[in-house]
């Protein structure tokens, strides 16, 4: 794909987080004349360029040759919309990356599971003898990967990144799943889905869920499907043997994998399909699937005490992620399931949780800005004011063989710095309870 000449162009970078800083560095290396903006009124930086803090300057934006928008800044911001109306082109870091990247690429998005699938793909490609780069919405900003020797690039992409992207060309691409998320920014599920589907534009091969039509592109065929439904084709699941099938034949038993839960069996299938289409070997794919143990804050066991398993799934920032965690763990739970949920709902509809909460959750504890909305879905729920209190209440109710699951179905910013902070606080609170019980 042809790159673009940025030398001497008047370019404004909006947002100076990790991605925005990578954009500034890249653009300066290309000889552009860079100005930066950030909505924060106080920001420590060492940039030798003009930096405007606080309210965005619409006049400066409207005079730019190009605006590079960080994913954390909404495209609907009035000053940005004013510039667009005047004909200024607005892109994000992924679009810049797409214009300059020369390596084969695997692209991954979805409401849930994309970080796990991204890491699985990396492990599968490495086990196949390929030199792999990983970045995007996870780890290293995409632009920082340019000009680094490798056989393939694996990118995790958010809807915020895809919203300003049009030129990305992947060897294999997937939308893993679609559920209500970021509706406070995207307005509707349909718009959110359409943004996610941008990942399929220009892709050589498409991987999508056989069981979720919203993940399937409307204008082209799917090359490999995956799902928990039975199928003689592609990747599927045999519930009787708890095994992944490929082309209708036994391929990999869940007992051979470190990952647990039905949702992770889907993640393995999706990663396997993406890797296979991009040139990984079947042996390497299997090895990667067997050896990958999962990521922090994603159905991560933080303690087993008195035969009670405490699981940190703080990364579950939407309803679909929590549903997947509950469904995935329910079949492995020999006792009761206690759920801690709640936080900042981002405008989501919590009603899809209702049936599962009443059928598979024995005791519900909620907290945070929208915890009351979740508590209303199940009689006998307990509302608390802190995560430490939630853990304490859970400990009082938990018995042998029970699972206590933190899977909030909400964002964390009403009470925590981010989902990692929330998960760390949960793990610390659990350890305090365990230590107290051990000293009694």
Catalytic amino acids? 114, 137, 182
**Which of 382, 388, 177 has the alpha carbon at shortest distance from 267?**
177
375-265-329 Cα angle (round to 5)? 35
Could you tell me if 7 and 30 are in contact, meaning their C-beta atoms sit under 8 angstroms apart?
A: yes
Q: Give 157's contacts (C-beta < 8 A, 6+ positions apart).
A: 94, 107, 108, 109, 114, 136, 137, 165, 199
Q: What is the DSSP string of 247-300?
A: TTEEEEEGGG-S--SHHHHHHHHHHHHHHHHTT--HHHHHHHHHH----TTSSE
Say whether 358 sits in a helix, a strand or coil. helix
Distance, in Å, from the CA atom of 294 to the CA atom of 325, rounded to the nearest integer, reads 13
Residue 354: how many CB atoms within 10 A of its CB?
13
Could you tell me if 98 and 107 are in contact, meaning their C-beta atoms sit under 8 angstroms apart?
A: no
Q: Count CA atoms within 13 Å of residue 284 on its CB side.
A: 20
Give, as one character, the DSSP assignment of residue 163: T
Say whether 105 sits in a helix, a strand or coil. strand
């Amino acid at each position: 794909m042809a790159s673009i000449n940025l030398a001497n162009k008047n370019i404004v970078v909006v947002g100076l987080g990790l991605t925005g800083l990578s954009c500034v560095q890249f653009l300066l290396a290309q000889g552009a004349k860079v100005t930066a903006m950030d909505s924060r009124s106080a920001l420590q930086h060492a940039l030798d360029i003009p930096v405007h803090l606080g309210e965005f300057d619409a006049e400066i934006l409207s005079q730019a040759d190009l605006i590079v928008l960080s994913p954390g800044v909404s495209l609907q911001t009035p000053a940005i919309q004013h510039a667009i109306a005047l004909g200024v082109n607005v892109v994000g870091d992924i679009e810049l990356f797409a214009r300059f990247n020369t390596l084969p690429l695997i692209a991954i998005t979805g409401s849930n599971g994309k970080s796990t699938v991204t890491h699985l793909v990396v492990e599968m490609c490495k086990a196949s003898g390929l030199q792999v780069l990983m970045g995007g919405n996870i780890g290293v900003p995409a632009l920082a990967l340019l000009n680094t020797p490798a056989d393939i690039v694996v990118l995790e992409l958010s809807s915020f990144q895809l919203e300003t992207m049009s030129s990305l060309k992947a060897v294999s691409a997937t939308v893993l799943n679609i559920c209500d998320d970021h509706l406070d920014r995207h307005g509707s599920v349909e718009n959110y889905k359409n943004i996610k589907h941008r990942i399929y534009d220009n892709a050589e091969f498409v991987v999508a869920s056989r069981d979720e039509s919203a993940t399937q592109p409307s204008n082209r065929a799917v090359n490999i499907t995956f799902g928990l439904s039975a199928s003689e084709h592609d990747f599927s699941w045999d519930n009787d043997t708890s095994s992944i099938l490929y082309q209708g034949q036994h391929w990999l038993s869940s007992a051979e994998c470190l990952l647990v839960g039905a949702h992770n069996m889907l993640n393995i299938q999706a990663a396997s399909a993406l890797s296979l289409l991009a040139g990984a070997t079947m042996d390497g794919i299997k090895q990667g699937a067997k050896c990958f143990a999962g990521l922090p804050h994603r159905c991560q066991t933080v303690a087993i005490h008195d035969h009670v398993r405490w699981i940190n799934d703080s990364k579950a920032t939407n309803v679909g992620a929590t549903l997947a965690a509950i469904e995935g763990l329910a079949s492995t739970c020999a006792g009761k399931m206690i759920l801690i949920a709640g936080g900042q709902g981002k405008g989501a509809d919590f009603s899809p949780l209702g049936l599962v909460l009443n059928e598979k959750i024995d005791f519900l504890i909620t907290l945070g800005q929208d915890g009351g909305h979740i508590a209303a879905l199940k009689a006998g729920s307990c509302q608390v004011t802190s995560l430490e209190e939630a853990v304490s209440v859970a400990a009082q109710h938990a018995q042998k063989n029970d699972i206590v699951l933190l899977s909030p179905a909400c964002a964390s910013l009403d009470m925590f710095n981010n989902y990692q902070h929330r998960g760390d606080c949960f793990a610390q609170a659990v350890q305090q309870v365990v230590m107290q019980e051990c000293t009694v």
